[in-house]
Amino acid sequence: MQLQFLGTGAGMPSKERNTSALALRLLEERGTIWLFDCGEATQHRILHTTIRPRKIEKVFITHLHGDHIFGLPGLLSSRSFLGGEDTLTLYGPKGLKEWVENTFAISNTHITYPIEYVEVQDGIVFEDEQMIVKAKELEHVIPCFGYRIEQKPLPGELLIEKARELNVPKGPLLGKLKNGFDVTLVDGTVVYSKDVTSPPKKGFVVTILGDTKYCESAIELSRNADIVVHEATFDHSTTHLAANYGHSTNIEAATIAKEAKARNLILNHISARFLAEDLQKLLIDARKVFENTFISKDFSHYLWKDEKIIEE
């Protein structure tokens, strides 16, 4: 699993940071990409990456402020031009479907692939045999959601020597055992998958939060997560402004991660008021509360591998 930040700014684009967009690259897990928010010019950012729009399977919108959605119609349109045929599912608050469809109607935009809409409410918004996505409303000035993405446990590794000891022949039976199925040999012997595989591996948990002030919902979504992506629009000296505008400070984000017992925190949605020389202080102050804190920048790339986060 990889996280690639396409836009990490707040409110409006700057020379250093575009507006909100984050790609969850699940190419190894399911051959697709999930996009979280789609601020203005997100597709321009994608042009500078290896992301292929036709590989985008799902788009999760946290809320309907412009810096999180103004790039969506253009990206959806370009996906048609680039040969996208598979269904794309849009998740977001009430009003998202109406806004997208009205934009298409007024601009006479034709989409060549099916779009499914899911109006997000608290609870499970998606589940299949691999993944489960939970949503919870945060505390912002308009309805805004955070998402918790959980990978279900992975099958254990096949213990080939044990399988050989039980006379399992080479071939498809080994594959069945590895995938959790018991098998019967030609002599009638039943070989149980649990006897020839290691215990299941824990899947990853990633929490991606929309705009929010400090709140209990953010803590619940972040509980024991491997990676939490949390906004840090303000710093500790402007805490009063953060609350007024429904946003958080770097210290509040770090406190959320600490109270949730998360493993890693990535600060996101950084205000243009912070210059390059300010960012190190934002990071240092947050690390005093929660040590495993990182600060995102456009195109920054984080890999989750072997239970560790790797910043690339």
**Residues in binding site:** 63, 65, 67-68, 140, 211, 269
**Residues in binding site for Zn(2+):** 63, 65, 67-68, 140, 211, 269
Alpha carbons 216 and 213: distance in angstroms, whole number: 10
Burial of 266 (0-12, 13-18, 19+ CB in 10 A): buried
155 is written with which tokens?
A: 């099958």
294 is written with which tokens?
A: 């990182």
Asked about 67 being catalytic, the answer comes back as yes
Catalytic residue among 37, 67, 235, 298: 67
Q: 180's torsion region: left (phi>0), alpha (psi -120 to 50) or beta?
A: left
212: closest CA among 184, 232, 183? 232
Burial of 312 (0-12, 13-18, 19+ CB in 10 A): exposed
Cβ contact 75:39 at 8 Å: no
56 is written with which tokens?
A: 């985008």
Cβ contact 285:258 at 8 Å: no
DSSP 8-state symbol, 171: S
Q: What are the catalytic residues?
A: 67
